């Protein structure tokens, strides 16, 4: 008996053949169109991370977020009497962030310098015009005209101590006095001095009455702010109160006096901006954030000091000092 013939379909009808992918076609596929490996091969085994899901937050996004946070911190704490340098040390230490680098610091300081120039542009315009009129010996010699010119020269005189200290000691300070425990000590000590000066202030003088001795003493206080935790605005406002200025006028003169110091520091560090390269988005975002927040902080503080004292800032300094000590203790442990 003849064996029964079995009819089998060719294999090509049972498993359709896949057209080979050229390298060009393979590159054109998105992650959702990537070819699946054949079943039974080693590459078919499932992995712990699915390559077809959209990616999560990348390091670039985190860098931009860090730039915004540090820009807000710089804009607020540079003008409020709570020490910007201390906060820029403590916050990265608290969140275990890497050092943002000198180039990024320059961008933040350029932002706060821009805030000062924009907010006080009318004051600087009047002082410059009066000084040029005195030098060229033209224009009316009225009392207000002379006061504006004299104020400009007093600001220049008061900026000398900070300029000398910055040139001689900045590198040493950057390398030796940036520990959280030292920030805590300076926050607390200057907070005590601020409280005493605020309680004993006479509050009877204005910016128009500032003299040579006032400018020199307030300038020396600004030079001390090179140490993290002191606060440029905190030190200068405190000495202004000791000299009898009202709170608002002490803050106003402190901000005017700080403008040349910011400009000089930015000018010296400007060559570092050439090394920005791939850091330009973070740099631009930090600059814009610190400038906008700085404008708001200046306006807020000048309005606040018309009716309130410095006690809330003193309490805040003590709280941040305690946090800095805790961070230092954790690091030691």
Q: Is 127 exposed, middle or buried (0-12, 13-18, 19+ CB in 10 A)?
A: buried
b/e for 320-332, b at 16 or more Cβ within 10 A?
A: bbebbbebbeeee
The first and second tokens of residue 219, run together, are 């300038």
Of 262, 150, 260, residue with least CA distance to 208:
150
Q: Is 244 exposed, middle or buried (0-12, 13-18, 19+ CB in 10 A)?
A: middle
Can you give the pLDDT of all 333 residues of the chain as single tens digits?
Answer: 555 555 554 544 444 444 444 444 444 444 434 444 444 444 444 443 333 334 445 577 888 888 899 999 999 999 999 998 888 888 887 888 876 766 788 888 899 999 999 999 999 999 988 888 777 765 545 445 578 888 999 999 999 999 999 889 888 888 888 788 888 999 999 999 999 999 999 899 999 999 999 999 999 999 999 998 999 999 999 999 999 999 999 999 999 999 999 898 888 877 777 666 667 888 889 999 999 999 999 999 999 999 999 999 999 999 999 988 888 787 776
Question: How far from 277 is each of 41, 70, 261, 281, 331, CA to CA, in Å?
Answer: 44, 20, 27, 10, 33
What are the structural domain ranges in the chain?
A: 83-332
User: DSSP label at 305?
Assistant: T
Q: Measure CA of the first residue to CA of the last residue in the chain; give whole Å.
A: 93
- Can you give 15-26 as a three-state secondary structure string? CCCCCCCCHHHH
């Amino acid at each position: 008996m003849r064996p029964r013939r079995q009819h089998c379909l060719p294999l090509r009808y049972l498993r359709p053949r896949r057209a080979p992918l050229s390298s060009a076609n393979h590159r054109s596929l998105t992650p959702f169109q990537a070819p699946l490996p054949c079943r039974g091969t080693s590459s078919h085994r499932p992995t712990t991370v699915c390559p077809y899901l959209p990616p999560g937050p990348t390091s670039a996004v985190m860098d931009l977020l860090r730039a915004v946070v540090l820009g807000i911190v710089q804009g607020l704490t540079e003008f409020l009497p709570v020490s910007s340098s201390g906060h820029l040390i403590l916050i990265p230490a608290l969140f275990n962030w890497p050092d943002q680098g000198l180039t990024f610091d320059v961008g933040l300081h350029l932002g706060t310098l821009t805030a000062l120039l924009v907010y006080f542009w009318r004051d600087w315009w009047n002082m410059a015009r009066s000084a040029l009129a005195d030098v060229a010996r033209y224009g009316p010699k009225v009392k207000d005209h002379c006061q504006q010119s004299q104020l400009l020269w007093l600001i220049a005189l008061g900026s000398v101590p900070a300029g000398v200290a910055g040139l001689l000691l900045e590198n040493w300070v950057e390398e030796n006095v940036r520990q959280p425990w030292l920030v805590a000590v300076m926050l607390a000590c200057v907070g005590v001095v601020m409280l005493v000066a605020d309680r004993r202030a006479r509050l009877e003088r204005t910016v128009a009455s500032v003299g040579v001795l006032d400018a020199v003493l307030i300038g020396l206080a600004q030079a001390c702010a090179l140490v993290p935790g002191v606060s440029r605005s905190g030190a200068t406002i405190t000495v202004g109160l000791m000299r009898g200025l009202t709170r608002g006028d002490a803050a106003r003169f402190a901000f005017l006096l700080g403008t040349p110091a910011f400009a000089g520091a930015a000018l010296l560090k400007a060559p570092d901006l050439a090394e920005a390269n791939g850091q330009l988005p973070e740099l631009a975002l930090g600059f814009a954030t610190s400038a906008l927040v700085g404008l708001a902080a200046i306006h807020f503080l000048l309005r606040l000091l018309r009716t309130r004292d410095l006690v809330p800032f003193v309490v805040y300094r003590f709280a941040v000092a305690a946090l800095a000590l805790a961070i230092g203790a954790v690091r030691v442990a």
